[in-house]
Structure 1
Amino acid sequence: MNRILKTERCKLKRSCIWLAVLGIPLIPAFLGSANYAGNTGILTNQWYSLWTQVTLFYCYFFFPALIGLYCAYLFRLEHLNHNWNLLMTLPVRRSSLFLGKWITAGGLIFITQMFLVLLYFIAGNFLGLTVPFPWRKVLLWALLGILSGMAIASFQLLCSLIFRSFAVPVAIAFAGGLAGMGLYLKGFGLLSPFSLMALGMNANNPKGDLPYPAPVLIAACLGFSALFCFLGILWMRIRDVKSE
């Protein structure tokens, strides 16, 4: 596993994926901050109101698609130049190959989440928020966002394994974010990993309690992660993986 993770890190080094890691979170942070600045007469809860504006854009539109991009990129090299043929002959477990990519995606998700929290903190200070920063709540929301992001990543890695096209898994991720919003609004958020992002990050009501207790959300994230990782490993074991 250590060798697999080192290999994945080597593929990411000097990769253009870092432009997405550091660039795309700037968009929801800017849009949310601008919306907050233009509606301070209505949005009166300072840090909590700003969190809502930033994460509503982030959870449903940007982060799911970004995770889809991460996962599609992690499988892209294997789909090209007959690399699968070489990889499948190596004395490496299929489970280690899939889980190595899942852990690598988790690292990218962690960096993205922490960068968003930093942008949120900078934006709040720039906007002149005067109440103390809610560190404990924000870190809890960020952690739950990471776990829900890894649940999405397990699904997206499965999609990226099945579909050799780079664009199709990203499109599925974007559609999943929209579907997750619909399920959240209907009260079925626990049924989709894409809804868990908004639930865990408490995007709709940050001043109040989480929609579900944190242990329930964590269990749902771990359950989806285990399910899709199992399906991904099973697919690699029973199907011949083809290269372009």
Structure 2
Amino acid sequence: MLHRYLFAEILKLRRSLALMLCVAAPACVAVLGTVIAFDRKTPVQLDTFALGGPGIWSFVMLPLAVTALSVLMAQMEHGSRNWNHLLTLPRARPNVFLAKAIVMLGLVAMMSALLWAFMLVGAVVLTALHPAGVIGAVDTARLARVLALMTVCSALVAMLQLWVALAYRSFVVPLVFGIGGTFVAISTIGAAKAAWFPWLLATGVLATRPEVRQMGLLLGGIGGLAVLGAMLAHLSRREA
């Protein structure tokens, strides 16, 4: 039964801006990084350039993209008041909510994969057109590994965002929740306990201390599963 709800959620993406967001968000990061690299008067170290993309991505664009994505996915039902019909379908609880969570995590992973590809395109453009030239080459395996770990670490904040977006009919609540979390993350970066903050777990992948990276993976991955379970238990009691 779950596969039917998954298929339905994937079909709904065609009627929303979610797919456009999933392309535009990583593209903006890659374009910004490439423009900044072109502004340099010295040769560009390609590996450093490539890893700069995940840095910007995890710190700012990923949490904002997750916020917008959760709102878009929830408003598919809230906007048309589709819950009244959807929750009366056979085994809709908790399958419909689980399907949305799986699709959202899949879209986050897709954005990471696209960022990997876009950063490689940026490296090719720099190699061909940068006046001062480039140094070295992109470690594609390392870039893929970093982005994959960031995807795991972002599971907690993604599930928190989706829970809030599905629980409240108004799109303002999850927007304020996500933007507020991102603002707090930016304000507290570098603080002693900042590494524990859900919005900064993905950034911890780039930390020099291995314990910070391990904590991000544990909190992001296991915490994301725990929040998913709590969300399913809570929303399954929702009135149709």
TM-score range, shorter chain: 0.7 to 0.9
* 1:136 to 1:189, Cα distance in 2 relative to 1, 3 A: farther
Q: CA deviation at 1:224?
A: 2.1
Q: Does 2:143 match 1:142?
A: no
Q: Does 2:200 match 1:199?
A: no
1:1-80 correspondence runs (5 A) = 1-13=2-14, 15-39=16-40, 41=42, 45-52=45-52, 54-80=53-79
1:215-230 correspondence runs (5 A) = 215-230=214-229
Partners of 1:217 and 1:149 in 2: CA distance: 9
Q: Name 1:233's counterpart in structure 2.
A: 232
1:39-77 CA-partner distances (Å, limit 9, x unpaired): 354x9643224422x334322322211111211121212
Percent identity, aligned pairs only, is: 19
1:191-243 CA-partner distances (Å, limit 9, x unpaired): 2221012112x1xx6xxx465365443221122212321231232134436xx
Contact 1:33/1:50, CA 8 A, preserved across alignment? no
Q: Does 2:101 match 1:96?
A: no
Q: Partner of 1:24: helix, strand, or coil?
A: helix
Contact 2:25/2:111, CA 8 A, preserved across alignment? no
Q: Which amino acid aligns with 2:192?
A: G
Partners of 1:211 and 1:167 in 2: CA distance: 37
Q: Partner of 1:212: helix, strand, or coil?
A: helix
Q: Partner of 1:185: helix, strand, or coil?
A: coil
* 1:23 to 1:237, Cα distance in 2 relative to 1, 3 A: closer
Unaligned runs of 5+ in 2: 128-133
Contact 1:64/1:177, CA 8 A, preserved across alignment? yes
* 1:237 to 1:16, Cα distance in 2 relative to 1, 3 A: closer
Q: CA RMSD in A?
A: 2.5
TM norm structure 1: 0.83
Partners of 1:237 and 1:12 in 2: CA distance: 23
Question: How many residue pairs get matched?
Answer: 233
Q: CA deviation at 1:190?
A: 3.8
Q: Name 1:173's counterpart in structure 2.
A: 178
Q: Does 2:159 match 1:158?
A: no
TM norm structure 2: 0.85
Partners of 1:118 and 1:109 in 2: CA distance: 15
